[in-house]
Amino acid sequence: MLEIKNLSVSFNEKTLLTDINLTVASGARHLLSGHNGSGKSTLVNVIAGNQEYKIKSGEIIFNDKNITAENATTRSLLGIFLGAQNVPEIPGLTVLSFLKHSIAAHTHFQTGKDLSMGDFLTRLESAREKLNIPKEWLNRSVNVGFSGGERKRIMLLRLLLTKPKLAILDEPDSGADSDVKKQIADTINEMTDTTFLFISHQKDFTNMIKPTAITTLSSGKVVIE
pLDDT of amino acid 39: 92
Q: What are phi and psi of 103, to 5 degrees?
A: -70, -35
pLDDT of amino acid 84: 86
For 118-153, write each residue's pLDDT tens digit. Answer: 999 999 999 999 999 999 999 999 999 998 889 999
Domain span holding position 101: 2-222
List C-alpha distances in Å: 165 to 79, 104, 160, 195.
5, 17, 12, 6
Partners of 22 in the β-ladder = 4
Partners of 42 in the β-ladder = none
Task: Please give the single-letter amino acid code of residue 136.
Answer: E
What spatial distance separates the first Cα and last Cα of the chain, rounded to whole Å?
A: 23
CA–CA gap between residue 151 and residue 160 (Å, rounded): 14
Sheet with 221-222, edge to edge strand ranges: 80-83, 166-170, 195-199, 29-33, 213-218, 221-222
pLDDT of amino acid 121: 94
| pLDDT surpasses 70 at 225 | no
pTM of the complete model: 0.92
Q: What angle do CA 212, 185, 73 make, to 5 degrees?
A: 85
Percent of the chain with pLDDT over 90: 84
Domain count, the chain: 1
Q: Which residues, at least 6 apart from 70, have a Cβ–Cβ distance to it below 8 Å?
A: 49, 78
CA-nearest of 77, 55, 80 to 68 is 55
Give me the CATH number covering residue 45: 3.40.50.300
For 71-115, write each residue's pLDDT tens digit. Answer: 999 999 999 999 988 788 899 999 999 999 999 999 999 889 898
Q: Where are the beta strands (DSSP E) in 120-190?
A: 141-142, 166-170
